[in-house]
C-alpha cells in the first residue's frame, strides 16, 4: 500500500477498487479488456506544471522540449503541447509525429546519433528550431545538404562530457566510449569550424548524459563542463546563445530517492544560470512514467513445490512492457479489486505468456493471493512502455485509453490479429495453394 502513498494519481477505494485520477480501473479493464495501457492526462499536466514551477522558482526561463520517445501517442503529445511543451525528437518519424500533433516546428529539437540524409532534409524543410549534431561528419553532411537546398540548419553541438550518470549501463550516454555526442575535448575546435560552415547557423551546445538519473551530482558535473566550454568559446569571440541540458531526470519506481525537479533546476542555476543563455531541457520519463499504468488479467496460477514462489501468469507480456526483461526494471504491481487490496500477501512470481525465460514482470514479489480473472495494474508504465511494444509471438498491440477529469476514452483499439499479416506477401514461386 505504500506504493500508493507516494503516487497522488492512484487511490484505493473500498467500493470501486483502484482509482487512477478518480477513474475506477476495474471499469476500464472490464469494458476494454486487457492488456490495456491507461494514460492519465491530468498526471501529465500536473507533472509538467511542477517541473516548470521548479525552474521559475530558481529564476530560470527554461524551454521544455518533451522527449517524444518516452510516450509518443498523439493524445499525449496534444496534452503536452497544450501545456506549452516543445518536442525532442530522435527520428524522422518522431519529427512527423510531433508536427501531426500540432507542435510548432520552432520548438522542435532533433537529436540522435544516426540521422540519415533524408531525415536531415526533412528537418531543414520543416525549418525546425534546432538540430543537435553529434559528430564532425554529421556537421559536414548537414552543411552540404543545407547548402544544396539553399537552406540553413540551426545547430547545437551535442557534447559528450565524459560524465558517468551512475545509471543502468544500457541507458547511460555521456561517458567516454558511449556512442553519443562529440568528445568534450574536440568540441571547441568543431564549434569554431561550425561557425564558419555554409548552411549552418550555430546556436550553442547540448548535452544528455543518460536516463533514470537519481542524483543531481552527474547533472551538475556535466553542466559545469558545458559552462566552461561556453566561457572558453565566448572568450574567443564566438557567439554561444543557448544550452540544451537534455533529459534524464529519474523517477521513483520502487524505493529510490529520486531527486525532485528543484534539484535539477538547482544544478542548472548554479552552473549555467548566470551566463545569459537560452536554456532548454528534454524530459521524457519524468513527465510520462507515473502518468501510465498497464492493466492486465491473471490467466492462471502455477503452483511450485514447497519453498518456491508460485507463478502468476498474466495476459500482458514482455512484448507489451519490455523494461523488466530489457533492463531488469522493477515496476509496482497492485491488484485492482478492493477486496484484494488489504488481503494478506505471499511471495509470487508474475510472468507473461511469451516463450522467453526473461518474460518476467516481478520475481518473488509479495502480492495478495490472486485468482484467475483478477485484474492487476502495473504501475509507472507511462514512459518507455507502449512505445517499446512489439508483436512478438503474434501478439497484437494492446488497447490504449486516456483518462482526464473522471472521463475516459479509447485512444487506440486493441490491434486486430489479422493486421499482423496484412502487409505480408508470398513470392510467386511458392505457389501457395
Ligand X SMILES: *Cc1c(COP(=O)(O)O)cnc(C)c1O
Q: Which residues are catalytic?
A: 355
Q: Supply the minimum distance, in Å, between the C-beta of residue 179 and ligand X.
A: 11
In the complex with ligand X, the residue whose CB is nearer, 179 or 302, is 179
Shortest separation between residue 132's beta carbon and ligand X, angstroms = 7
Distance CA 417, CA 57 (A): 50
Per CB under 6 A, contacts with ligand X among 194-213 are 208, 211
- Min CB(106)–ligand X separation in Å: 18
Q: How far apart are CA 386 and CA 378, in angstroms?
A: 12
State in angstroms the smallest separation of the CB of 47 from ligand X: 12
Task: Tell me the closest approach of the beta carbon of residue 67 to ligand X, in angstroms.
Answer: 3
- Cα R_g (the chain), whole angstroms: 23
Indicate the residue among 154 and 285 with the shorter CB distance to ligand X: 285
What 8-state DSSP symbol labels residue 409? E
Q: Does 111 bind ligand X (CB under 6 A)?
A: yes
Total residue count of the chain as it appears in this document = 433
Interface map 49-78 toward ligand X (x if CB under 6 A): ------------------x-xx--------
* Closest approach of ligand X to the CB of residue 167, in Å: 9
Site for ligand X in 274-293 (CB under 6 A): 282-286
Distance CA 121, CA 138 (A): 13
Rank residues 284 and 335 by Cβ distance to ligand X and give the closer one.
284
CA atoms within 13 A on the CB side of 79: 24
Residues 81-110 that bind ligand X (CB under 6 A): 88, 90
92-100 helix and 117-125 helix, angle to the nearest 10 degrees: 30
With CA atoms as reference, report the closest residue to 191 among 161, 156, 224: 156
Which 371-410 residues touch ligand X, going by CB under 6 A? none
Residue with cell 529539437: 109
Whether residue 97 has a cis bond before it, omega within 30° of 0: no
The answer for residues whose C-beta is within 8 angstroms of residue 243's C-beta and 6 or more apart is: 156, 204, 205, 206, 207, 223, 226, 230, 272, 275, 277, 278, 279, 280
Record the cell numbers describing residue 310, joined without a space.
508460485
Note the Cα 389 to chain centre separation in Å: 13
Query: Should residue 242 be labelled a site residue for ligand X when binding is judged by CB under 6 A?
Result: no
Stretch that binds ligand X, among 240-248, 256-264, 266-274, 317-325 (CB under 6 A): 240-248
Kindly state the cell numbers that stand for 224: 559545469
* C-beta of 67 vs 269, nearer to ligand X: 67
Nearer to ligand X, 323 or 375 (CB): 323
Which residues pair with residue 297 across a beta bridge? 375
In angstroms, the CA 313 to CA 426 distance is 36
Q: Which is nearer to ligand X, 159 or 350 (CB)?
A: 159
Q: Which of residues 341-370 bind ligand X (CB under 6 A)?
A: none
Cell of 102: 500540432
Q: Which is nearer to ligand X, 89 or 403 (CB)?
A: 89
Hey, is 133 helix, strand or coil?
strand
CB 283 within 8 A of CB 52: no
Size of the site for ligand X (CB under 6 A): 17
CB of 178 to ligand X, least distance (A): 11
Q: Which is nearer to ligand X, 94 or 404 (CB)?
A: 94
- Is residue 216 a contact residue for ligand X (CB under 6 A)? no
Please, what is the angle between helix 74-82 and helix 41-57, to 10°?
40
In contact, 229 and 267? CB cutoff 8 Å: no
Query: Nearest distance from residue 155's CB to ligand X, in Å?
Result: 15
As given in the structure block, the three cell numbers for residue 71 are 510516450
Helix (H) or strand (E) holding 154: strand 153-160
Question: In the set 248, 259, 292, 335, which binds ligand X (CB under 6 A)?
Answer: 248
Report d(CA 212, CA 205) in Å as an integer.
22
Residues 150-179 that bind ligand X (CB under 6 A): none
Residues in touch with ligand X (CB under 6 A)? 67, 69-70, 88, 90, 111, 208, 211, 246-249, 282-286
Amino acid at each position: 500500500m505504500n506504493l500508493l502513498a507516494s503516487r497522488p494519481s492512484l487511490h484505493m477505494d473500498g467500493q470501486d477498487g483502484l482509482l487512477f485520477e478518480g477513474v475506477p480501473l476495474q471499469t476500464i479493464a472490464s469494458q476494454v479488456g486487457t492488456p490495456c495501457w491507461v494514460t492519465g492526462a491530468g498526471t501529465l499536466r500536473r507533472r509538467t506544471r511542477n517541473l516548470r514551477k521548479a525552474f521559475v522558482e530558481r529564476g530560470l526561463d527554461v524551454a521544455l522540449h518533451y522527449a517524444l520517445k518516452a510516450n509518443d501517442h498523439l493524445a499525449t503529445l496534444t496534452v503536452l503541447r497544450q501545456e506549452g511543451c516543445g518536442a525532442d525528437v530522435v527520428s524522422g518519424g518522431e519529427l512527423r509525429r510531433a508536427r501531426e500533433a500540432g507542435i510548432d516546428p520552432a520548438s522542435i529539437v532533433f537529436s540522435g546519433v544516426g540521422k540519415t540524409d533524408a531525415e536531415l532534409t526533412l528537418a531543414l524543410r520543416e525549418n525546425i528550431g534546432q538540430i543537435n549534431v553529434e559528430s564532425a561528419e554529421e556537421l559536414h553532411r548537414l552543411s552540404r545538404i543545407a547548402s544544396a537546398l539553399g537552406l540553413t540548419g540551426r545547430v547545437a553541438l551535442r557534447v559528450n562530457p565524459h560524465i558517468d550518470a551512475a545509471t543502468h549501463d544500457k541507458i547511460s550516454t555521456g561517458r567516454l566510449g558511449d556512442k553519443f555526442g562529440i568528445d568534450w575535448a574536440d568540441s571547441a575546435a568543431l564549434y569554431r569550424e561550425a561557425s564558419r560552415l555554409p548552411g549552418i547557423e550555430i546556436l550553442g551546445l547540448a548535452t544528455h548524459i543518460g536516463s533514470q538519473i537519481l542524483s543531481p551530482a552527474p547533472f551538475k558535473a556535466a553542466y559545469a563542463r558545458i559552462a566552461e566550454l561556453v566561457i572558453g568559446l565566448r572568450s574567443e569571440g564566438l557567439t554561444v546563445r543557448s544550452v540544451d541540458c537534455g533529459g534524464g531526470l529519474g523517477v521513483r519506481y520502487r524505493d529510490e530517492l529520486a531527486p525532485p525537479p528543484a534539484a535539477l533546476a538547482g544544478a542548472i542555476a548554479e552552473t549555467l544560470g548566470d551566463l545569459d543563455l537560452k536554456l532548454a531541457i528534454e524530459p521524457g520519463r519524468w513527465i510520462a512514467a507515473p502518468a501510465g499504468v498497464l492493466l492486465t488479467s491473471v490467466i492462471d496460477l502455477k503452483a511450485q513445490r514447497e519453498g518456491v514462489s508460485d507463478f502468476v501468469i498474466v495476459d500482458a507480456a514482455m512484448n507489451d512492457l519490455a523494461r523488466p526483461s530489457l533492463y531488469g526494471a522493477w515496476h509496482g504491481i497492485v491488484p485492482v479489486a478492493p477486496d484484494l487490496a488489504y488481503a494478506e500477501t505471499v511471495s509470487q512470481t508474475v510472468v507473461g505468456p511469451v516463450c522467453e525465460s526473461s518474460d518476467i514482470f516481478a520475481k518473488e514479489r509479495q502480492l495478495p493471493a490472486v485468482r484467475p480473472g483478477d485484474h492487476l495494474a502495473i504501475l509507472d508504465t507511462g514512459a518507455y512502455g507502449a512505445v517499446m511494444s512489439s508483436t512478438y509471438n503474434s501478439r497484437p498491440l494492446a488497447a490504449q485509453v486516456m483518462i482526464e477529469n473522471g472521463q475516459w476514452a479509447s485512444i487506440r483499439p486493441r490491434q486486430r490479429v489479422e493486421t499482423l499479416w496484412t502487409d505480408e506477401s508470398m513470392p510467386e514461386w511458392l505457389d501457395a495453394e
